[in-house]
Amino acid sequence: MDLGIAGKRALVCASSKGLGRGCAEALAEAGVDLILNARRVEALEDTAATIRTAHGVDVVTVAADITTENGRKAVLGACVGVDILVTNAGGPPPGNWSDWTRDDFIAALDANMLTPIALMQALMPGMIHRGWGRVVNITSQSVKAPIATLGLSNAARTGLTGFVAGTARQVAPNGVIINNLLPGIHDTDRATSLDGGVSRAQGISMDQARANRIATIPARRYGTASDFGAMCAFLCSQHAGFIVGQNILLDGGAGNATI
């Protein structure tokens, strides 16, 4: 399917690895020029070089922490004529409800709620001016079904979801379409780190932790970054203009809900 977005320009945050990289690769395959971001230069440059070679698109890199004001300033400084925004950052650490401090909550809200909001506020006026834009926020399955040990994530991402619900309807008349993508478990460094936590807490091997989790997923596997990227690219495509303010779950059926 021709996604109809060749020649558009996208900022994909936190995209040297994992789900962000999956989104960047799928957009590049559709002919989209990219601004890629991550904190560590080496993986970021490797990813950029691989994408340039594979897809022949223009790729600009900005090594910066997207969750800080200075980091966002650096990234936004490279953002001329951005039509597509994919927001992403690392997720908050697991823990227990009784231990999290105000500072823990502020850090999670900064990273996973206020950063995507600031990026939308910075880039959507240009999209509105040009009459076309797409925003995909990478959130989490925890928005639909809470994961108790990820309470910081549950809280921050649900806050972002509330902001998007109203704002998506305000900007859609201008051709700017915002949706959220909710990953269930996907085979990335984040999944390895979550499985490591389970392995330590339950005194089981990493393989057993993974096997136990797979048994809870009807698709009987972890998702891949390319599964995720394909859906992201579709939501950024010309075909997605009637999908507004939705929360799309990619979890292999793990969430046991009718709607």
Q: Give the residues lining the site for ligand NAP (CB under 6 A).
A: 14-20, 37-40, 43, 65-67, 88-91, 138, 140-141, 183, 185-186, 188-191
Q: Please say which residue, 109 or 171, places its beta carbon nearer to ligand NAP.
A: 109
d(CA 227, CA 65) in angstroms, rounded, equals 26
Q: How far is the CB of 143 from ligand NAP (least distance, A)?
A: 10
Q: Please say which residue, 120 or 171, places its beta carbon nearer to ligand NAP.
A: 120
Q: How far is the CB of 160 from ligand NAP (least distance, A)?
A: 11
Q: How far is the CB of 131 from ligand NAP (least distance, A)?
A: 30
Q: How far is the CB of 141 from ligand NAP (least distance, A)?
A: 6
Q: How many CB atoms lie within 10 A of CB 160?
A: 22
Closest of 138, 124, 45, 118 to residue 84, by C-alpha: 124
Task: Give the DSSP letter string of 20-87.
Answer: HHHHHHHHHHTT-EEEEEES-HHHHHHHHHHHHHHH---EEEEES-TTSHHHHHHHHHT-SS--EEEE
d(CA 46, CA 41) in angstroms, rounded, equals 9
Q: Please say which residue, 149 or 171, places its beta carbon nearer to ligand NAP.
A: 149
Place of tokens 């009637």: 242
Q: Please say which residue, 43 or 204, places its beta carbon nearer to ligand NAP.
A: 43
Task: Give the DSSP letter string of 186-228.
Answer: BSSHHHHHHHHHHHHHHT--HHHHHHHHHTT-TT-S-B-HHHH
Q: How far is the CB of 78 from ligand NAP (least distance, A)?
A: 14
Q: Quote the tokens at residue 98.
A: 């009784």
Q: Quote the tokens at residue 52.
A: 């340039």
Q: Please say which residue, 42 or 58, places its beta carbon nearer to ligand NAP.
A: 42
Q: How far is the CB of 139 from ligand NAP (least distance, A)?
A: 7
Report residue 75 CA to chain centroid gap.
Answer: 16
Q: Please say which residue, 65 or 171, places its beta carbon nearer to ligand NAP.
A: 65
Q: Please say which residue, 43 or 244, places its beta carbon nearer to ligand NAP.
A: 43
Q: Are 180 and 249 in contact (CB under 8 A)?
A: no
Q: How far is the CB of 69 from ligand NAP (least distance, A)?
A: 12
